[in-house]
Amino acid sequence: MRDYLETFDRWWHSNPPVDLVSMATTLEKINNVLPKDYLDFLKWSNGGEGDTGSNHFTFWKIEELQDLNLIYDIESFLPGAVAFGDDGSNIIFLSSDSKVGRTPYGYGADDMVEMLAKDFSEFILNIKKFGP
């Protein structure tokens, strides 16, 4: 597991690590589609939030993933993708084929997705660079 304190320093408000039983239950419900590096992050902080100065990030707790993905109807416009957070406004962050992207809430087309990183680790490494 990587050292997230290096990246998140003082601006991130972490939650306690994920309960492994909750993780297993959620993964079973969503067909194990979350990237390994994201699961590693959850073992450090089960969700959390922070403001980089140029963007706000809220990563949802694993226990919230299934319900929030249903509410935002992610599967209907991006089959196979899983949203894992938002910017506190109108952007959701999601993972699809291990890549990480963002898209406005409610836009039902994959051409509205801006890919940000090849995987969650790269996304975290560059998180302060992503502006609004």
| Residue among 63, 57, 59 at smallest CA distance from 30 | 63
Total number of domains in the chain: 1
User: What percentage of the chain reaches a pLDDT higher than 90?
Assistant: 26
In a domain, 2, yes or no: no
Instruction: Please tell me the distance from the alpha carbon of residue 80 to that of residue 97, in angstroms, as a whole number.
Output: 8
In a domain, 82, yes or no: yes
In a domain, 1, yes or no: no
pLDDT of residue 107: 60
CATH of residue 50's domain is: 3.40.1580.10
Predicted confidence (pLDDT) per residue in 57-102, tens digit:
899 999 999 899 988 888 888 888 889 999 988 888 888 888 888 8
In a domain, 66, yes or no: yes
pTM of the model: 0.86
pLDDT of residue 1: 46
The residues, any chain, with a CB within 8 Å of residue 125's CB and separated by 6 or more, are 7, 117
**Paired tokens of 18:** 């994920």
Residues of the domain holding 26:
11-127
pLDDT at 124 over 50: yes
Average pLDDT score over residue span 90-118: 81
Would you tell me how many other CB atoms lie within 10 Å of the CB of residue 127? Answer: 20
In a domain, 6, yes or no: no
Instruction: Please tell me the distance from the alpha carbon of residue 1 to that of residue 49, in angstroms, as a whole number.
Output: 20
- Averaged pLDDT score across all residues of the chain: 84
pLDDT grade for 108, boundaries at 50, 70 and 90: low
Instruction: Please tell me the distance from the alpha carbon of residue 37 to that of residue 121, in angstroms, as a whole number.
Output: 6
Instruction: Please tell me the distance from the alpha carbon of residue 51 to that of residue 28, in angstroms, as a whole number.
Output: 31
In a domain, 5, yes or no: no
